[in-house]
């Protein structure tokens, strides 16, 4: 069974790159993607437990991913993971996201660490 990913990212090119990345890891599929905070909140509310991993960017076309971290934590099913993957993950932002309930926070330049984390988590979840 594939690990179901809900992606919150405003750049469509990043959607394609992440989908390609997930294909190389295997057993990971994007179930939906949103580009704004409002769209993401609505999707999370309408699909509780329908995802295993939420990947959230902090800077969106409208709104911010910051408030989505706690919202995703509340609406996710048992064992669901919330990860911030953003170009703005300074040490202070990282600490704040973790305090809000993120399982991990990665700067977009930390691609290697992000891939390692994804691979380990996907295997650990039995996917």
| Domain ranges (residues) in the chain | 3-124
pTM over 0.85: yes
Note the pLDDT tens digit of each residue in 47-72.
999 999 999 999 998 999 999 999 99
At 119, is the pLDDT very low, low, confident or very high (cuts 50, 70, 90)?
Answer: confident
For 46, other C-beta atoms within 10 Å of its C-beta total: 9
Model confidence pLDDT, tens digit, residues 30-52: 999 999 999 999 999 999 999 99
Q: Which residues are CB-contacts of 41 (< 8 A; sequence separation ≥ 6)?
A: 68, 71
Residue 54 near residue 81, CB atoms below 8 Å: yes
pLDDT band with cut points at 50, 70 and 90 for residue 125: low
List pLDDT tens digits, range 81-104: 999 999 988 899 999 999 999 999
CATH architecture for residues 3-124: 3-Layer(aba) Sandwich (3.40)
Q: What is the share, in percent, of the chain residues with pLDDT greater than 90?
A: 72
2 vs 123 pLDDT, higher one: 2
CA-CA-CA-CA torsion sign (111, 112, 117, 119): positive
The number of C-alpha atoms within 13 Å of 70 and in the hemisphere containing its C-beta is 7
């Amino acid at each position: 069974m594939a690990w179901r990913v809900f992606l919150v990212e405003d750049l469509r090119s990043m959607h394609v790159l992440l989908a390609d990345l997930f294909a190389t890891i295997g057993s990971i599929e994007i179930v939906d993607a949103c580009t704004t905070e409002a769209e993401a909140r609505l999707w999370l509310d309408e699909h509780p437990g329908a995802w295993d991993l939420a990947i959230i960017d902090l800077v969106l076309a409208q709104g911010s991913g910051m408030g989505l971290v706690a919202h995703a934590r509340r609406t996710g099913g048992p064992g669901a993971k919330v990860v911030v993957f953003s170009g703005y993950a300074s040490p202070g932002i990282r600490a704040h996201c973790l305090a809000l309930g993120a399982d991990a926070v990665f700067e977009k330049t930390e691609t290697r660490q992000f891939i390692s984390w994804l691979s380990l988590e996907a295997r650990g979840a039995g996917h």
